[in-house]
Structure formats: C-alpha cells, structure tokens
Amino acid sequence: MSLLELKDVRKNFGSIEALRGVTFSVEAGSVVGLVGDNGAGKSTLMKTITGVYHPDGGEIRFDGRSLAGLDPHQIREAGIEMIYQDLALARMRDVASNIFLGRELTRSVLGLQLIDGKRMRAEAEAMIAKLGARVKSVTQIAGQLSGGQQQSVAIARALTFNPKLVIMDEPTAALAVREIEHVLELIRTLKTQGIGVILISHRLTDVFAVCDRIVVLRQGAVIADDPAPRTTMNAVVAHIVGATDAPH
C-alpha cells in the first residue's frame, strides 16, 4: 500500500478542467518530483491534496485512509505538511520562535500559561541538529538568515508535526549553488527518516539529483510517470512542452 494514492482526481472551475483524472502514488521514504509548465495544474493539485480544494471526482487516500471531506487542519493532523515557496516565516522573530510559530510551548506559573522559551530553544536545537541544518543558533533572527538557512527553518517547522509526507514548492528557487546542494541534502535526510516527499520544481537538475520518480503534469493530466533512472532530462522537457503526447 502506498503512502499517498491519487486515483482519477478531477477538479473543475466552471468550464475549466484544471485536473483531468490525475493518478499517481507516493511511497513512504521516497521522493517524487512533480514537474510541468506554468498552468499545468501543479498548484491546483497540491491544494486539492492539502484540502484547500475538494476534488470534483476521483479519490485521494493517505496512509490507507480517504481524505474526502477533510479540511486543511485535519489533513495536516493526518500527516501531510506543505512548505510553500514564500516559506511564511516571521522574519523579525528568531529561529526557535518560527519553528514553534502558532503552537508555542508553554509552562504553568501560578496558574498562568506562559511561553516556555527555554524549552522551545532546546527542542528547536534538537530539530535543527536532526536535520543537519546549517543554522548557527536558534536565537538568530530569521530575516537575517540566508535563503538556504530559511528553507532549513521551514523544514524544521514542518517536522514538528511529525509528518509522513512533506510537499515542497520550489525549495531551491533563487538560491546560490552551495545552498541548493544543502537543501537537496535536507531532502535526502527526510527520505532516510522514512518521510515521503513531493518536490515541485522547475530546476530539473535538482529533480534528477534527489527524486526516485518524476511525474509530469500537462494541462491537468499526467503525461509521464517514470522512475528517474529510466528517463532523461530531454524526455522530461519534451513531455513538459508537449513535444510528445504519448501518455504513460
């Protein structure tokens, strides 16, 4: 049984067919690259998986359970985390505060619940160490970190929910070469921990570097779904631009 299974998933906006029978799966501890041109349906598909949209047809199952009718909070509780391209960090706050943003740890003092900054810092340090992230101190201000370090904080925050699947939207966009390799290494770390990853990226070199399978969306449909070692960058590009319409 796959961790995530999509079967004939459809989504319409009026007369527009945004998703036209999408079928693919993600295994635990595997990385699936999701690629396609702008307007291919990637964003709609991710919003459908995470409960922002409800599908108009087909089925989405996660860890053996149907996600039908669940809202984004319930889907997150089920074990799916989405890291958006803008990262949604509070850039004026420190790393530890960002990792626990919205679910701060507290301690009781004279019947009052106060934020437990010491415990948050300790647990944030443990999370950063587990990831092998290159963040010098959890007391650093997030807005002063490099792009790769900020991506590390976003991943660490996602892991505080103990997810089984992490969806990453363009995590290496606008990063320097050295930082890109660090983010790819973080993705490999998630894989070794048994976490499934969907990597959305326009950078095919990154996709081929870390992905086990590559799924190509075009005009809301899966045009190709191949093991990464059995396809080529030229073949993927041909599918993306429609140079070949041979469905897989």
Identify the weakest region by mean pLDDT among 117-121, 131-135, 175-179, 242-246: 242-246
CATH label of the domain that carries residue 246: 3.40.50.300
Distance CA 129, CA 159 (A): 12
What pLDDT score does 244 carry? Answer: 62
Query: Strand 106-109 relative to strand 31-35: parallel, antiparallel, unpaired?
Result: unpaired
| Averaged pLDDT of the chain | 92
Q: How confident is the model at residue 248 (pLDDT cuts 50, 70, 90)?
A: very low
Q: Are residues 65 and 93 in the same domain?
A: no
Please check whether residue 128 is in contact with residue 152, taking contact to mean a CB–CB distance below 8 angstroms: yes
Residues 38, 45: contact at Cβ < 8 Å?
Answer: no
* 116 belongs to a structural domain: yes
Per the domain annotation, does 206 fall within a domain? yes
Examine residue 185 and state whether it is found in any structural domain, yes or no: no
Count how many domains the chain has. Answer: 2
**Do 49 and 101 have their domain in common?**
no
Q: What is the mean pLDDT of residues 78-93?
A: 90
Q: Are residues 4 and 73 in the same domain?
A: yes
Classify residue 75: in a domain, yes or no.
yes
Write down the pLDDT at residue 232: 96
Domain assignment present for 186: no
Same domain, 66 and 106: no
Indicate the residue among 112, 137, 162 that finishes a domain.
162
Flag whether pLDDT at 242 surpasses 90: no
State which residues form the domain around 145.
86-162
- Whether 205 and 230 map to the same domain: the answer is yes
Higher per-residue pLDDT: 133 or 42: 42
Please check the confidence at residue 176 and state whether its pLDDT lies above 90. no
Mean pLDDT of 66-95: 92
Task: Say if residues 135 and 91 touch (Cβ distance below 8 Å).
Answer: no
Per-residue model confidence as pLDDT tens digits over 106-136: 988 888 999 899 999 999 999 898 888 889 9
Instruction: Tell me the pLDDT tens digit for each residue of 197-208.
Output: 999 999 999 999
Residue 247: predicted pLDDT: 46
